[in-house]
Amino acid sequence: MVGSVHKGELMAHYRTAWISDLHLGTRGCQAGAVLDFLREHDFDTLYLVGDIIDIWALKRGIYWPQEHNDVIQKLLRKSRKGTHLVYIPGNHDEFIHNFLGQFGDIHIQKHAIHETADGRKILIIHGHELDTVIQNIGWLAHLGDLGYKILLELNGVINFFRRLAGHDYWSLSAYVKNEVKNVVSFISGFEEAVVRYAEDYKVDGVMCGHIHRAAIHKIRGTEYYNTGDWVENCTALLEDYTGQISLVQFEPSVKPKTSESRVEELVEA
């Protein structure tokens, strides 16, 4: 099930939510859309499925506008108000792997097994564990990440002029990924690898992020879920109180950043 969410809808409460690949600390992060989603939805449990903070990008240069601070504060506020917050680190925030355990109201785990309201068990991982480029050719992964960031920068320029012309948001980076046959082949192979990995855990399904391609489908009888991202697609997965999991998509923010929103600052520990 796929639905669209529009800014201004009333607060909705769900049993569980999963989001990943926010890439806070990059200019491509749709922090405004993340904030809208968190303001308009509440959850018993919220899984952060990796690449929440982009340390790779921050090592190249500090970029941390106030909106990115606001996302962190909003997540912490939800945990203080009773949301069970589970953080599963990815490859861009891999340093957090050194701090597995409970920190206040936040649980940091290598992976998790979630039981839905109707009794199904779902393995939750970020997914970089099954990416052969990430695991075996680290420098190539960083080079590809840099090229991807350039495409995201072009997204901002293109959509500034599209907005002036009265057109809707359009993602150049998503278009390039969809049109390159090798990328399509990689995604198919990645999904197969994730499902094979999950079979060892004797679960009914597996959920991941990493590849920025939201999905819900079955592979050889195993349910495959991908949370998508908050750079190009602004997607999340939500579980209601019957156990049904649905995919929702938020509207990306295309408003130009003001000089105040470009203030660069580090989050204090």
Q: Kindly tell me if the per-residue pLDDT of 173 is higher than 90.
A: no
Q: Whole domain around residue 149: which residue ranges?
A: 2-257
Per-residue pLDDT, averaged over 199-203, amounts to 95
Q: Kindly tell me if the per-residue pLDDT of 17 is higher than 60.
A: yes
The answer to whether residue 269 is domain-embedded is no
How much is the pLDDT for 135? 43
How much is the pLDDT for 260? 32
How much is the pLDDT for 183? 56
Q: pLDDT, tens digit, for every residue of 205-231?
A: 999 999 989 999 999 999 999 999 999
- Give the contacts of 62 (CB within 8 A, at least 6 positions apart): 25, 264, 266
- Indicate which CATH number applies to the domain containing 123: 3.60.21.10
Q: Kindly tell me if the per-residue pLDDT of 259 is higher than 60.
A: no
The answer to whether residue 119 is domain-embedded is yes
- Rounded Cα distance between 232 and 190, Å, is 19
The answer to whether residue 201 is domain-embedded is yes
The answer to whether residues 32 and 60 touch, using CB atoms and an 8 Å cutoff, is: no
Banded pLDDT at 254 (limits 50, 70, 90): low
Site of tokens 């769900």: 14
The three-state secondary structure class of 124 is strand
For residue 83, which amino acid is it?
T
Instruction: Supply the pTM of this predicted model.
Output: 0.75
The three-state secondary structure class of 228 is coil
Q: pLDDT, tens digit, for every residue of 59-105?
A: 889 999 999 999 999 999 999 999 999 999 999 898 888 899 998 88
More confident of the two residues 157 and 64: 64
Q: How many domains does the chain have?
A: 1
The answer to whether residue 266 is domain-embedded is no
CA separation (Å) from 46 to 54, 161, 165, 199, 200?
19, 36, 38, 24, 25
The answer to whether residue 85 is domain-embedded is yes
Q: pLDDT, tens digit, for every residue of 131-154?
A: 654 343 343 344 445 555 655 666
How much is the pLDDT for 157? 63
The three-state secondary structure class of 10 is coil
The answer to whether residue 268 is domain-embedded is no
Q: Kindly tell me if the per-residue pLDDT of 189 is higher than 90.
A: no
